[in-house]
Amino acid sequence: MNDCPFCRPEGLELVAELGTVYAIRDGYPVTAGHLLVIPRRHTPDFFSLTEEEKRDTLSLLDRLWREALASDPTISGFNVGMNCGLAAGQTIPHAHTHLIPRRDGDTPNPRGGVRGVIPERMSY
């Protein structure tokens, strides 16, 4: 797609590449080190990824996770996720997986993690 920012990786600063996917820094990071793993093929979300794209995504996430832990001793956890569709908060209609490093104290109460997408459902 012409207007898709993820369809032109040559214009982006790549952090890593593996097969059918590449990684960049998130343009609006939640925390320091927030990365996106993106398939080269334009496809809307996780459910449209091929098996090869899913494997490459998981392999690259695994590599990036290890590298982040090795390079930053303040990281004590991660959120990994995808927004699939407008109702889920997806703003760019090209599949991408977030790898968000977490640090002790980066939020007052992290309990519930990704449940925080609906704030009143975060605590349970």
- Give catalytic residue positions: 96
> Closest Cα to residue 79, out of 119, 10, 33, 19?
33
Helix or strand (DSSP H, E) at 85: none
Nearest to 91 by CA among 99, 78, 101, 82: 82
